[in-house]
Structure 1
C-alpha cells in the first residue's frame, strides 16, 4: 500500500517510478530510467517510491548504476549519487551531492527526501560535510529569503539544528549560520554564532556575525565584529579591508584609510587593498595623486562592482581635477585602463 493518497500528483509519481523500474530492469535504457526517476522526485520529493526503485537498481545491478553515475555533472546523476551515497553508508558524500543539487534548483524541495531526515543520515553526517553542503545550496546566488524558500529549506534547517547540537564544531557552525542568514533567519544565525563561541572563539564566526549585522543595517555592531575578528587573526589583510569599508560606508574616510594602512602592513602588494587606500585617501583629502593611483590599479580589481564603488567614493573627493574625474568615471563602463 502507498504511504500517500493517490492524488493526481501521486499518480504521476507512481507512474513515472513504475516506468523507470521497467526501463531499469530491461537494461537497455538506463539513462531514460534515471530521467524518469529524477522527474518523479522533482514532482514529489517526499514520496519514497522513486527512491525504492533506485534502491532496487543499486541492489540488483550496482555496476550498471555506478557506470551511469560516473558521467556526473548533470542534475539527474548528482541527485542519484546523493541517494546512492546514503545507501553505501557515505552520509558526507550524500550531503555534498544533495547540496549541489539544491544549489542548482532551490525551487524544488530536494531535501524533503525521506533519507535526508532519517536518523541514519542525521546521526552520522559530519558537521564539516553538512556545513559545506549548506554552502553549496547558495552556490548559484538564488534568493532564499522568502516564506516559500524557507518552507522548502525546512529539512535543511532541521539538519543544521540536529548536527550542530551533536557535533558543535565552531567553523562548521559559522558556515551553517550563513545559510540561516541567507534564508532571512538572522536571529537564528546570530544564535548559532553564539553557540559556536561557547565552544571556541574563531575568526570565521565573527566574520559571519559581522555579515549578519551588516545585513540588519547596524554598522557599529558590524565594525565591532570585524574588530574582534582582527584580534583573532591580526595578519589577515582582508579583515582590515572589511573594516575599512564599513567605516567608509559611515562616511569616516580618515578611519577607513587607517584600517587600509593596517592591512598594507601585512600585504603591501595586494591590489585590492592598495586601490581601496587610494580611493579613500582621494575621498578624504582630494589629492590628485591618489585618484591617479586608483585609475592605474582599477583594471587589476577582480570584482567590477567593488571597482565601481571605489571609483564613486573617490570621485566625491574635494577639488579633484575634471580630467582625472572623467578618466576615473570612464573606467566604470569598462575594464580597460585609461592613460592619464
Structure 2
C-alpha cells in the first residue's frame, strides 16, 4: 500500500471512530491498512490513539472476537500494555493464518522494549503457532517475510537460552529452510544443558535436509537421554524404514511397545514394517484394521505403501489396503 493509501485508510478509520461512533469498525479499517503495509507507522499510531481514548468500548467490542483483524489489533494493544508474551503469541496466531503478509515488520515487533521483555517460552509458542496451518514456508519470499522473526529468535535465544524453548523455536527456521539457524539454536541450548528436545530438533533438521544417517544418530542421542520415550523409538524406526532397513525398524517398534503397548501408531508401524519385511498377510490385515485409527492420513498412507510392497502378498489384500488411502 502506498503512503497515500495508508493515509486514506487512517482517515476513514478516524471518521468511523469519531463520526460514525464505531471504534471496532475503525479497528477493521486500520488492520486492513496494516495488512497492506505492515511496516507503516501511521495505522499503528492511530490504533494506539484509539486504545488510549476508547479502551473500554474496544475491550467490550473485541471480547471473544477471534477474527484475524481482532487478534492482530489485540496483539498491538497487549504490546502497548506491556504484555509482551501474550502479544507475541497473538501475532504468531495471525501469522500462522496469513503467512503471506509480513506481519513481523510491524514497528513494535522489532522494538527494543519488546525484544528485551518477551520470554523465550512465549516466543517459542508463537513460533509453533506460525506453523499451525501447514503452509509451505520454504521459499525465498517466505524467508524474507520471516526475517523479523529470525531476528527476534536470535536476540531472545541469546538473552534467555532455555534449551526446551530453543528447540521449539528451531521448528520455524527449519520450516523456512533456514537450517543453519535451527542448528545454531540447538548448539546454544546444548551449551546450557543437553536435553532430549534439543536432540530431537537436531534430528528433525537433519531429516528435513535428507541426511538420514545424521538424523538417526541424533534420534539415538535423544533416546540415550530419554530411553523410556516410546515416540523416539517410532521416530528412529521411521528413519530406518526410510533407509530401507526394515529389520531394524521392526526391532525399534518392538522396543517402543515395551513402554507403550497400546499406542496405535506403534502398533500400526509394527504391522507395516513386518509386512514389508516378510510379506505377512496376517500383518497386512492387522494394518487394515488399525489404519483408520491413525490421526495422520499422510503417515497412514506411508505405512500402507511400505506394507503393500511386501513380498508375495495376495493382490486382493493389497487392493483392499490401497482403498484405505482413497478415503
Q: Per the shorter chain, which TM-score range?
A: over 0.9
Give the deviation of 1:222 after TM superposition.
0.6
Runs of 4 or more, structure 1, over 4 Å off, are: none
For structure 2, the residue ranges without an aligned partner over 5 or more in a row are: none
What is the DSSP-based 3-state SS (H/G/I as helix, E as strand, rest coil) of the residue aligned with 1:199? coil
1:84 aligns with 2:77: yes
Aligned-partner Cα distance in 1 for 2:324–2:137:
33
**Structure 1 counterpart of 2:33, from 24, 35, 40:** 40
1:1-340 matched pairs, under 5 angstroms: 9-26=2-19, 28-334=21-327
How many aligned positions are there? 327
| C-alpha distance after superposition, 1:86-135 (max 9, x if no partner) | 11110001101111111111111111111111111000000000111111
For structure 1, the residue ranges without an aligned partner over 5 or more in a row are: 1-7, 335-340
Q: Is the Cα contact below 8 Å between 1:45 and 1:110 reproduced in 2?
A: yes
TM-score w.r.t. the length of structure 1 is: 0.93
Give the deviation of 1:74 after TM superposition.
0.4
Give the deviation of 1:213 after TM superposition.
0.5
Give the deviation of 1:27 after TM superposition.
5.8
Aligned-partner Cα distance in 2 for 1:153–1:86:
19
Superposed CA RMSD in Å reads 1.3
Aligned-partner Cα distance in 2 for 1:142–1:325:
33
| C-alpha distance after superposition, 1:146-191 (max 9, x if no partner) | 2221111111111111101111100111111111111111112112
Q: Is the Cα contact below 8 Å between 1:71 and 1:77 reproduced in 2?
A: no
Q: Report which stretch shifted further, 215-224 or 64-73.
A: 64-73
Q: Is the Cα contact below 8 Å between 1:69 and 1:80 reproduced in 2?
A: no
